[in-house]
Structure 1
Amino acid sequence: CPPQLIKNTARVKYMAFSSDGKYLAIAGDHELSVWDWALGEQLFCSLTLWHNTTAISFTPDDRWIVRASDDGCVRFWDREDGHLKCTLVAHAEVIRYMAFDTNGRFTTATPEKAVRVWSYRVGDGKYGPVTLLDLSTSGRYLAIGRGEGTIDVYSVHTMIKVREFPTGEYISCLRVSPNDRFVAACCSGTFRLYDLQTGERSWGPCGNLQCAASVDISPDGRYLVTGGLEHLEVWDLERRRRVHRIPNQWYRIFKVAFTPDGRWIAAASTDGCVRFWDWTTGQLQFILRAHTSEIRAMAFGQDGQFATACADQTVRVW
């Protein structure tokens, strides 16, 4: 074919053709442009105000242009509109090499002999924004809550979606059971239980309005707790019935959790306190005055330590 003249105004460091030969990506230190090769016309030019370019490539489906840089990041641009879609922090040092295969994977390498293989999947743009995430205790499943009220469950090993549960309502909390059997979700003050094996809603909606803003499942997978404005409620997942209702006489509860041994329930609330109950008796055991303002998040480690995060951006480990 005859040679084509591309009038690129910036310094050229790297070039890559799309797999069908229709497009050419050109990268300098701080500029990325894409050209229609047959017409010799520039489709878009994006200023990359980050670190210097070290590698560039199209994904095998030619939908994304991928740029590696000396800050250790890999950035994905949409070929059609030229918008930056996502950034992967791949390494702590400069990336020197990057290569894609046809199976949705790519490899990055650094001068320090670090080689990493990544898996990526491209969505179809029909999903709402991600509002919640929960990784199962086993590390097998990732549950994603979306703005339009859908729960998507992915296999962590393959990053393929294995289940989709439409709730039709705003999801305030999400939890995968430790035995990987269920996904529990709080929606509009009630909770629902979804079966990962069958893909069907297993139970719910249950609970009174305003009672279920947060949910957790016991380490053995047998019990579920919800907390909100009015009560703490404990449910038996095998018998499908409520076993305890603990009145909440204090402040709104933002987060509930079973302790790692399953003995107690911890509830973090808007007054900055964490209250611990013996859920088998419904008795309050003690109160931890953790913060001076409302607690927005709480998480337990398997070693018994737990972290609380406050609205004033303070995080504490106990």
Structure 2
Amino acid sequence: MWSVAFRPDGRTLASGGSDGTVRLWDVATGENRTIVTGQNDGVTAVAYSPDGRTLASGGRNEGPDRAVRLWDPTTGRLRSTFTGHNQAVETLAFSPGGRTLASGGYDGTVRCWDPTVGNAPTVLRGHSRVVRSIAFHPDGRTLASSGDDRTVRLWNLDDGRHRTLRIGQGFTVNSVTFSPDGRTLVGGSDGGNIWLWNANGGNARTLFIWPGIGMSSVAFSPSGRMLAGGSASGLLWLRNMHSGSIRTFQISSTGAAHSVTFSPDGRTLASGSDDGLVWLWDTDTGTARSPLIGHRDAVDSVAFSPDGRTLASGSEDRTVRLWDVATGRTRSTLTGYGGAVESVAFNRNGRTLASSSKDGTVRLSDVPLPDPAEAISKICHAVHRELTVQEKSAYLQSRAYRRSCPSS
């Protein structure tokens, strides 16, 4: 499985793989429809348009497999085939408004297509080797790209000009993304470094964070105010993007901190590590709760439900656990995987969890939602006291200023 993408409404998950097909998974039923793309050497990238009405796929290697193809995800009908890349298509991204589809390839070019026409794309030339990642600025007028030539480039899509952000030290930036407010561009390199650039005009500046330490995961808070990362040495860091201050926490002495993610309100940071523990951190104070214990091997991925009340964790013990964030207890355990679970993600309403495993499968699982009264009872039983205003606001928004726990 080389690429996955949720449709914006969260009802369908698209996956592209080495068998040259795109599979469209119904999130509610788990059933799938297969689109035979003709990209026989594999589908390396898939991306939905913002309105969910178009699905793009990119292929690799020889002949027609290099094309970018647009599909009607409802009928599976091929709408358009865009040719131009001389080698494999590595990455795809739609602009925020859906008017432009960008593709990056092994030929070192970035091509910007009009999805309604497709012909005569704008070709952005500058990279001398494979383009690994592309990302649109939230305003849709700037595009960032990174490649094996050890550069990151910021393209002005109005005139095609670009600024080159050089990395040096022999590192390749494999992934780039903009902060939600568009002010910062973040890149992760194969040397384990995290690179930050000021994306709003003027001279770009690069901030090195512990070069060579081996970064495993990075994530922005929903507001874009904080950036968190986990390292191969088990170190977790939290950077305030306004003040530049950094706090560090050693969460594991036995291996990497594989995954980090923020709760929807940004108040809690979750992390998973090689020792099989899941940690929850208060982002204001930097204090950690007791670890969530249950996995018997490394935790590779963590994800919060949209309401922040459930945390999913995928592990190399071939299970997924759903945790009650308020109590820290396991709500349910999903089993039956044939390999390590490397990625987990909730759909928009939080009722379905997508997970991918080294066994080559993508699974869609129903998420049991707790009864509100039952959830309150469990929280009260766990803490043996009335909840604070802050705790009510975080977990019981509708009862933030009412007594929640019965008097003892």
TM above 0.5, yes or no, is yes
The answer as to 2:359 corresponding to 1:312 is yes
Partners of 1:176 and 1:137 lie apart in 2 by 8
Pairwise CA RMSD: 3.6
CA contact (8 A) 1:174 1:183 kept: yes
Residue 71 (structure 1) aligns with = 83
Query: Which one of the candidate residues 99, 114, 119 is aligned to 1:95?
Result: 119
CA contact (8 A) 1:264 1:277 kept: yes
Q: Once structures 1 and 2 are overlaid, which stretch shifts more, 236-245 or 305-314? A: 305-314
CA contact (8 A) 2:165 2:204 kept: no
Residue 111 of structure 2 aligns to which amino acid in structure 1?
Answer: L
Partners of 1:152 and 1:250 lie apart in 2 by 33
Partners of 2:174 and 2:123 lie apart in 1 by 32
Deviation at 1:129, TM superposition (A): 1.5
CA contact (8 A) 1:165 1:199 kept: no
Residue 27 (structure 1) aligns with = none
Deviation at 1:254, TM superposition (A): 0.7
Deviation at 1:286, TM superposition (A): 0.3
Larger Rg: 1
Say how many residue pairs are matched.
234
CA contact (8 A) 1:235 1:244 kept: no
Residue 288 (structure 1) aligns with = 334
Question: What is the DSSP-based 3-state SS (H/G/I as helix, E as strand, rest coil) of the residue aligned with 1:251?
Answer: coil
Query: Which one of the candidate residues 257, 261, 266 is aligned to 1:216?
Result: 261
Deviations 1:240-263 (A, max 9, x none): 211221224422211012211110
Alignment of 1:10-25 (within 5 A): none
Deviation at 1:216, TM superposition (A): 1.2
CA contact (8 A) 2:304 2:312 kept: yes
CA contact (8 A) 1:72 1:89 kept: no
Residue 24 (structure 2) aligns with = none
CA contact (8 A) 2:262 2:268 kept: yes
Question: What is the DSSP-based 3-state SS (H/G/I as helix, E as strand, rest coil) of the residue aligned with 1:241?
Answer: coil
CA contact (8 A) 1:143 1:176 kept: no
The answer as to 2:195 corresponding to 1:123 is no
Residue 283 (structure 2) aligns with = 237
Residue 206 of structure 1 aligns to which amino acid in structure 2?
Answer: Q
The answer as to 2:146 corresponding to 1:146 is no
Q: Once structures 1 and 2 are overlaid, which stretch shifts more, 273-282 or 247-256? A: 247-256
Residue 223 (structure 2) aligns with = 179
Partners of 1:126 and 1:156 lie apart in 2 by 19
The answer as to 2:224 corresponding to 1:200 is no
Residue 85 (structure 1) aligns with = 108
Partners of 1:299 and 1:119 lie apart in 2 by 36
CA contact (8 A) 2:343 2:357 kept: yes
Deviation at 1:118, TM superposition (A): 6.3
Residue 227 (structure 1) aligns with = 272
Deviation at 1:172, TM superposition (A): 0.6
**Percentage of identical aligned residues:** 24
**Which stretches in structure 1 are left out of the alignment for 5+ residues?**
1-48, 52-68, 76-82, 108-116
Change (3 A) 1:167 1:125: closer
Deviation at 1:150, TM superposition (A): 2.7
Partners of 2:296 and 2:334 lie apart in 1 by 14
CA contact (8 A) 1:140 1:157 kept: yes
Residue 190 (structure 1) aligns with = 235
Deviation at 1:159, TM superposition (A): 12
CA contact (8 A) 1:224 1:235 kept: yes
Residue 292 of structure 1 aligns to which amino acid in structure 2?
Answer: G
**Which stretches in structure 2 are left out of the alignment for 5+ residues?**
1-61, 65-80, 88-105, 125-153, 366-408
Deviation at 1:217, TM superposition (A): 1.2
| Structure (1 or 2) with the greater helix fraction | 2
Residue 148 of structure 1 aligns to which amino acid in structure 2?
Answer: G
Question: What is the DSSP-based 3-state SS (H/G/I as helix, E as strand, rest coil) of the residue aligned with 1:175?
Answer: strand
Change (3 A) 1:90 1:289: farther
Query: Which one of the candidate residues 175, 196, 207 is aligned to 1:164?
Result: 207
Change (3 A) 1:124 1:213: closer
| Structure (1 or 2) with the greater strand fraction | 1
Q: Structure 1-normalised TM-score?
A: 0.61
